[in-house]
Amino acid sequence: MNLIFYFDHPILPHAGGTERAAYLLAEALSRHGHRVSFLSLRRGDSLPASAPYLYLPRTDTLSCAENREYVETLCAGQGIDCIINCGANQDDSFFFSHERLSVQASIISWISFDVRTGLDYFSALLRKDFSTWGNAVKTLLRRAILPYRKYQAVSAKRKKYRDMFRGSDKVVFLSSRYAQDALQLAGTPERARLYSIPNLLTYEPAETGSCRKENAVLYVGRLVDSPKKVDRLLHVWKRVRPRHPDWSLYLLGDGPERAALERLAARLKLENVHFEGAQDPAPYYRKARILCLTSTHEGMPMVINEALSHGCIPVAFNSFHAAAEMLPDRETGRLIPPFSLRLFARELDELMSGPHVPPRTDVLTRYQPEKVIPQWLECLQEQP
């Protein structure tokens, strides 16, 4: 088949989780004989030569006549069989829809986040600032209108999924829990068929003992306030660091909150905290004993499986419905009730205090290519 993967940013092997998951899938499908190309709204540098990279003509907005005509002409001219919209959890789903595009290609909406993102733990998304009287008043006003804002968010998401179900041939979720959440939210699909297919593994699991572990705690991800909330991890580090002076915290990634997080680390007088920027995470996974994830919500975070592949124990808030699938027991990793920094610090302290016991990795078998790719092949081959 002739497939085109869309995301607003270029789909790269070392970018964010969505881009990395899409790239791995595209590479695997290409090895199975499918022709693959990438389409994005924004341009990128240092692109791999593995597949053609195409760009929409208008970069300031997705939904416009120029971009619609470009996609329709592209699909007709190149005989595209299927568009895989990797940005379906965003508003891109309103554009990549049979109700808005006149294309013969089937449309697959790929949801890479928890369906209830932004609905559960709604108050945790509230940005709090009590630094001045004016900011305190604004914070209290935002808190007062939270019920109405949540009502609006639920209504908007229900409309979005109903629209997606009408405009897509197929919708792929990362977990059966997310498919159930979508059905409860939007009702039975009028058109689309629903599938539950997890992300592929980034790395093959390393042999036990092959990674030389150091007294290191690791965070890997974008430095953004919502949903990642890395500031929570810094406050947790403030609690545990005095008991473990020979341990270090490494923060991999970049983003708009980096400067603010560095200021917070300085204000809390944190020691052994290293902001490493965007780096290849593999060497850090190999040396770290623990991975920490303090997000308000996630989809199926690839960093958890990447950590497990390197014998690194994940500790995360149980704030997304796939969390229990990824970390089913304490031998695999630790799930913390949202969003208790005290309990998170207690579990982290326990892991830092004892000898390193590599986590169980049998859960990773369900993310192996021999498990995941047949599900995608079946999805692609089934008629809408």
Phi-psi region of 33 (alpha: psi -120 to 50; beta: other; left: phi over 0): left
Alpha carbons 374 and 381: distance in angstroms, whole number = 10
Phi-psi region of 71 (alpha: psi -120 to 50; beta: other; left: phi over 0): alpha
Q: What percent of the chain shows pLDDT beyond 70?
A: 98
Q: Kindly state the tokens that stand for 378.
A: 């079946």
pLDDT at 123 over 80: no
Digit-coded pLDDT (tens) for 132-180: 888 888 878 878 888 888 889 899 999 999 999 999 999 999 999 999 9
- pLDDT value at residue 15: 76
Statement: the pTM of the whole predicted model exceeds 0.85: yes
Alpha carbons 156 and 152: distance in angstroms, whole number = 6
Is residue 51 very low, low, confident or very high in pLDDT (cuts 50, 70, 90)?
A: confident
Digit-coded pLDDT (tens) for 6-42: 999 999 887 778 899 999 999 999 999 999 999 999 9
Q: Higher pLDDT residue, 335 or 205?
A: 335
pLDDT at 50 over 80: no
pLDDT at 66 over 90: yes
pLDDT at 208 over 70: no
Q: Kindly state the tokens that stand for 129.
A: 């600032």
Task: Say how far residue 182 (Cα) sits from the centre of its chain.
Answer: 18
Unique residue bearing structure tokens 């190149």: 78
SS3 call for 153 = helix
Digit-coded pLDDT (tens) for 153-165: 899 999 999 999 9
- pLDDT value at residue 213: 94
Is residue 323 very low, low, confident or very high in pLDDT (cuts 50, 70, 90)?
A: very high
Is residue 212 very low, low, confident or very high in pLDDT (cuts 50, 70, 90)?
A: confident
